[in-house]
Amino acid sequence: MKLTTMIFGADALPDGNALAQAAEVLRGHQQAGHALIAVIGALPGVYPLLYESTQLSNYSRVHNKLLSMHSSAARKLIYEAQDRGLLIQDVTDILETYNWMGRSMINRPPTPSEAATMLAVGERLSARLLAGHLQHKGIRAVHITDAIVTDENYLDATPDVAQTNERFTSKLVPLLEEGYIIIVSGALGITAHGKPTRLKGHGIYLSGSVLAASGGADSLWFLTNQDGILTADPELVPAAQTVPVLPASLLDDLAAHDIDVPTSGDVDLAINAQIPMFIRNMLNPTHPGTYIQPTSDTPPDTLPVIVTRTNIRALSLPGASLNPDDGIQALAEENIQALVGHEPPDKLLFLLRADQANIARLALSQAYPNSRIEASGDRSALVTLIGTEPEAPTYLSRHLDPPVQALTLDSHGPQPHTALLILEESVEAAVEKIHNLNLPQSK
């Protein structure tokens, strides 16, 4: 049995209509002779609504919004009245259970177990819609919510690999052998006693990695909306190319820059099981995409990745002896995420969203009471080059017009990344010029 596990994350599912395209990808791959497990995330905006409801107890409002959203998606996926009615009823039942739970605890916060159950509603709804669409097209599909056994840390659960392997063999293998496409709600687990949990980290990617490893999959696909990892944002650089091979060690750095990829921890199990992993385009699934190389060695045909983030403000402090961890912790207490940079000879920088600069400056002044904190005057774009040699800043400074502020960014690997702070209005021309240069690559 040739088994492929496919993960459909946020970029692959921008709306309910994308579920029909996901179904076509699955149908085509099944017709090519593959057994399939599809791991599905929630539709955009659903998880934040569900999380908000566990904090504000506005369950009725969220129920109504989700019912409208998913009923509309069901109508677009199935035109035949009877099947469409059955699917909408399934959606209604899932949300009625959620709303009933909300009413039962209107005067108290949910327990971790209850919160995990409520937060799972988004993935359950999108998985049910996809399974219903496939079934309507005559394809055998089944929606599974209890494929992964975890510990009892309900909101940050760790898979129990041994028990998950047993469940895979006893429950999923017979279904696969009968020709069913198995649809799994991403990020969902279940304790040995049957209570729902939410997986740690990027749960949807961890779900796919666990199931691929348990089933000894021939490949693990991460579906997105472009042809793998590109050398730059195609909206800024139309000539951006696919990076054919990417070391798994760089996944964490891409994720830190808000690129929708798994972290290395999410795919450890798949790497250890030696399962080939690919980032591919749901709209162009025959394109080879980007192969994720399990070793940390930089492959000879890798290409640097240029990541651009706008609406950035830099807060800088002089002093080579400052510990950046103190600042990161102070910012985290204010729910502010920042990147750490260094500018010669001894300047420490925290790079964050421009609208967070005032609160961040106050937090950093408490973390470094003896240091003067300076803020960049204009909103900037941060252009980070992942996969280049350390001499890249010097190289770029010779080829780019000022004003460009060259720095290095701390990374998750042994080597920092080159970065540039550029005025927002100049970023498009600068990124295209950088992309066209022959950048020094990591060896």
For residue 103, give both structure tokens.
């009413």
Is 370 buried (19+), middle (13-18) or exposed (0-12) by CB count in 10 A?
Answer: exposed
In 186-276, at which residue ranges do the beta strands (DSSP E only) sit?
A: 188-190, 196-198, 219-224, 245-247
**Is the entire prediction scored with pTM above 0.95?**
no
Between CA 322 and CA 315 the distance in angstroms is 14
Domains parsed from the chain with CATH numbers: 2-293 (3.40.1160.10), 305-436 (3.30.2130.10)
What three-state secondary structure class fits 230?
Answer: strand
User: At residue 1, what is the residue type?
Assistant: M
Q: Supply φ then ψ for residue 257, to 5 degrees.
A: -100, 25
CB 148, CB 210: distance < 8 Å: yes
Question: What is the DSSP code string of 126-176?
Answer: HHHHHHHHHHHTT--EEEES---BB-S-TTSB-B-HHHHHHHIIIIIHHHH
pLDDT (tens digit, 0 to 9) for every residue of the chain, 443 residues total?
A: 899 999 998 889 988 889 999 999 999 999 999 999 999 999 999 999 999 999 999 999 999 999 999 999 999 999 999 999 999 999 999 999 999 999 999 889 999 999 999 999 999 999 999 999 999 999 999 999 999 999 999 999 999 999 999 999 999 999 999 999 999 999 999 999 999 999 998 899 999 999 999 999 999 999 999 999 999 999 999 999 999 999 898 899 898 888 889 999 999 999 999 999 999 999 999 999 999 998 766 555 567 899 999 999 999 999 778 999 999 999 999 999 999 999 888 899 999 999 999 999 999 999 999 999 999 877 889 999 887 765 666 677 677 776 678 888 888 766 788 888 888 888 888 888 888 876 655 54
